[in-house]
């Protein structure tokens, strides 16, 4: 693996691109896109801080990744060193925070808090009961809040509801991840997750409840809030998303779980959330005639 490819692998660049889409969607939902220079500058901080977040995560997780034989990770296979990861993290965080300060005070605060918690998560929070999972779910919300405040001083009602949907779905997905990884996490790091305390089945019920709440809010948006209200461009894909999430949550409730399909369920939920993100981008584009 050459160093450039290793750098992209270390920073999970594909996740940063998804964040950029979420930022643009939030700007459109809030009502408008900023002027072109601000539009371009505003995309840089979330991309860089996301990249730095993954780099620092691999920095602290290198021993665990070695135990788990994650030879696809650049620090494990020697493509990059821990020093490289530390430098990448520092540069991404510093440049991202500095550029956010040029946009407005709201953007600066959001990016700064995101960077601080990204470090704290990798250092310690991921091992704290539910706190780490709540943080991961919240990171899916951050680009929408950030995009809102790039173009407005007030929080848009649609952004609030979308944030609720994404947070609930993200936390449910995290709980399913705990169910899937319980044995490995406990064996490798002695992590006592929610599954350790309440069991697989109760954890699955909690995830099911969170998904049902997210589905309820997504359907509420169809009946009450523009540009989603009675919009088939929104309803058709979001129903598909809801059906997929319902299926995944029900499968985790089965008494005799087919553990060989956990990866399939993970990919299905990830695909559903990606489809929801694209829907949040396309609907305001169609509505505004962009």
Q: 63-78, pLDDT tens digit by residue?
A: 877 876 777 788 888 8
Burial letters 172-202, b for 16+ CB under 10 A, else e? bbbbbbbbbbbeebeeeeebebbbeeeebee
> Within 10 Å of residue 30's Cβ, how many Cβ atoms?
21
The CATH number of 1-128 is 1.10.357.140
Q: Mapping DSSP to helix (H, G, I), strand (E, B) and coil, where does residue 171 land? A: helix
CATH topology of domain 156-290: 1.20.120
pLDDT in tens, 133-171: 888 889 899 999 999 999 999 999 999 999 999 999 999
Where do the domains of the chain lie? 1-128, 156-290
Q: Is the pLDDT of residue 128 over 80?
A: no
- Round the average pLDDT of the chain to a whole number and report it: 87
* pTM score: 0.87
């Amino acid at each position: 693996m050459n160093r450039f490819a290793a750098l992209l692998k270390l920073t999970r660049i594909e996740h940063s691109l998804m964040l950029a889409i979420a930022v643009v969607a939030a700007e459109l939902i809030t009502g408008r896109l900023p002027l072109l220079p601000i539009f371009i500058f505003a995309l840089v901080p979330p991309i860089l801080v996301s990249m730095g977040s993954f780099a620092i995560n691999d920095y602290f997780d290198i021993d665990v990744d070695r135990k788990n034989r994650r030879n696809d990770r650049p620090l494990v296979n020697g493509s990059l060193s821990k020093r490289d990861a530390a430098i990448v993290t520092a540069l991404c965080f510093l440049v991202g925070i500095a550029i956010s300060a040029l946009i407005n005070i709201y953007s600066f605060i959001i990016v700064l808090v995101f960077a601080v918690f990204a470090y704290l998560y990798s250092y310690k929070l991921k091992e704290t009961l539910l706190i780490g999972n709540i943080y991961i779910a919240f990171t899916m919300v951050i680009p929408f809040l950030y995009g809102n405040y790039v173009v407005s001083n007030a929080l848009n009602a649609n952004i609030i509801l979308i944030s609720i949907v994404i947070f609930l779905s993200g936390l449910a997905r995290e709980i399913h991840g705990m169910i899937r990884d319980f044995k490995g996490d406990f064996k490798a790091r002695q992590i006592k997750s929610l599954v350790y305390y309440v069991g697989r089945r109760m954890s699955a019920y909690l995830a099911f409840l969170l998904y049902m709440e997210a589905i309820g809010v997504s359907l509420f948006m169809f009946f009450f809030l523009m540009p989603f209200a009675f919009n088939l461009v929104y309803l058709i894909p979001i129903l598909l998303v809801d059906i997929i999430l319902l299926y995944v949550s029900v499968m985790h409730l089965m008494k005799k779980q087919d553990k060989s399909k956990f990866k399939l369920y993970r990919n299905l939920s990830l695909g559903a959330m990606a489809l929801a993100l694209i829907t949040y981008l396309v609907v305001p584009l169609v509505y505004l005639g962009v």
